[in-house]
Amino acid sequence: MPDIRDFHAYPDEHGRFGRFGGSYVAETLMAPLAELTEAYLRLREDPAFIAELDRDLTNYVGRPSPVYFAERLTKHVGGARILLKREDLNHTGAHKINNTVGQALVARHMGKTRIIAETGAGQHGVASATVAARLGLKCVVYMGAVDIERQKINVYRMKLLGAEVVPVTSGSKTLKDALNEAMRDWVTHVADTFYIIGTVAGPHPYPLMVRDFNAIVGREARAQLLEQYGRLPDALTACVGGGSNAMGLFHAFLNDRAVRIVGAEAAGLGLASGHHAASLAAGRPGVLHGNRTYVLCDDDGQITETHSISAGLDYPGVGPEHAFLKDAGRAEYVGVTDDEALEAFHLLCRTEGILPALESSHAVAQAIKLAREYPKDGLVLCNLSGRGDKDVHTIAAREGVEV
């Protein structure tokens, strides 16, 4: 791959990040995607839209989120200082709301009255139901039957917010199948429906749009570090399922070549076990859900079932920009196992009084590993993408505790 001068120049007008991305969809979706692209490219330059979005992010989401120095965790680890970007403190408890607030505004500008979304852990479903309620839009959320079972609290939250949750029983009954089903709904109801994709995957313009709406995370963090520490971090880390919180944190730092960027994928029971969701660390280039990216599939090209303790990372593809960053050598992608994530979960609970989401616990585990590689005055910035209240039942069940 040729040397890349400006990482912020991607994607190109076809939604391509080098050889990744694009629009691999059926003809029926080409017109709605063109309509969305046209509307979004106009709105992202529109000062009135930007001001409206900023107001919502400040007054509704509660931005900016703080960068917090995890002092006791740092002391426990005995390495570089670990800083947490507190996306768990956002309204609805995760970074997902940054994107849904933005897309809901786009939907309203396009005159759409119905919102659909897919969800894995339920965080994006909750964030979509939330913005739909606020704007008075009808909301339908597709969710795999397996995920509904392991994320009951979020399912109930969505219902309380007035959304209809549709169980998806095809395929592996998880996030990828929910995405297929939402795409079908969109094809069929395209006139009045806006599809809020929750991650930086899917056909153009979604990887661009979802990244843009989450990029506030990295922009804030970069400014906060410069202000509080007078310099940029040595390393960044975030968990990567589809990759929206990671892309959100990474994007502002992509041209800061001295900053090391590490994405933590779900290694499940271990990369060698075959039971994982590490598309970048253990997959190969392919085409899934409208874009070319790294996917987990067999030699016949069939997408394989994935495993992770965290529903939000349980996805056999990944956003195309991450695939691009991997091939460009700008970011590293490594696996964190279920056990490592759980250990990090408990450690953060006990040392800092912060209960992280299981997804984010993967990033915490990686931050701990990175902190050990740098001297004590080093800085490791970790995206704490969500809070873990939704996961207490999963963790209790795994540890044999009845709640």
d(CA 214, CA 12) in angstroms, rounded, equals: 19
What's the closest the beta carbon of residue 65 comes to another protein, in angstroms?
A: 35
Which residue in the list 85, 96, 173, 326 is annotated as catalytic?
96
What's the closest the beta carbon of residue 347 comes to another protein, in angstroms?
A: 37
CA 3 to chain centre: 27
Given phi > 0 = left and psi -120 to 50 = alpha, else beta, which region is 173? Answer: left
| x/- track of binding to another protein for residues 116-135 (CB under 8 A) | --------------------
Q: Quick one: tokens of 378?
A: 């080093």
Residue 376 annotated as catalytic? no
Establish if 38 lies at the interface with another protein (CB under 8 A).
no
What's the closest the beta carbon of residue 393 comes to another protein, in angstroms?
A: 29
Residue 118 annotated as catalytic? yes
Establish if 288 lies at the interface with another protein (CB under 8 A).
yes
- Given 290, 312, 320, 388, the residue binding another protein (CB under 8 A): 290
Residues with Cβ within 8 Å of residue 189, at least 6 apart in sequence: 114, 116
Establish if 31 lies at the interface with another protein (CB under 8 A).
yes
Establish if 295 lies at the interface with another protein (CB under 8 A).
yes
| x/- track of binding to another protein for residues 297-316 (CB under 8 A) | x-xxxxx-------------
Q: How far apart are the first and last CA of the chain?
A: 52
Which residue in the list 65, 112, 118, 265 is annotated as catalytic?
118
Q: Quick one: tokens of 14?
A: 């076809």
Closer to another protein at the Cβ: 134 or 275? Answer: 275
Closer to another protein at the Cβ: 233 or 283? Answer: 283
CA distances to 77, 85, 155, 326, 353 from 92, rounded to whole Å, are 30, 16, 13, 31, 19
Stretch that binds another protein, among 17-25, 96-104, 118-126, 375-383 (CB under 8 A): 17-25
Sole residue written with tokens 């939604």: 15
Q: Which amino acid is at 106?
A: V
Q: Quick one: tokens of 33?
A: 């995607």
Q: Which amino acid is at 203?
A: P
CA distances to 9, 16, 260, 273, 325 from 4, rounded to whole Å, are 9, 14, 16, 35, 10
d(CA 21, CA 15) in angstroms, rounded, equals: 6
Measured in degrees and rounded to the nearest 5, phi and psi for residue 80 equal: -65, 160
Residues in the chain, total: 403
Establish if 3 lies at the interface with another protein (CB under 8 A).
no
Residue 96 annotated as catalytic? yes
| x/- track of binding to another protein for residues 187-216 (CB under 8 A) | xx-x--------------------------
Establish if 269 lies at the interface with another protein (CB under 8 A).
no
Closer to another protein at the Cβ: 66 or 171? Answer: 171
Residues with Cβ within 8 Å of residue 340, at least 6 apart in sequence: 267, 362, 365
Closer to another protein at the Cβ: 302 or 353? Answer: 302
Window 148-177: residues binding another protein (CB under 8 A): 170-171, 176-177
Contacts with another protein, residue ranges (CB under 8 A): 14, 22-28, 30-32, 34, 170-171, 176-177, 180, 183-184, 187-188, 190, 284-290, 295, 297, 299-303
Q: Which residues are catalytic?
A: 96, 118, 385
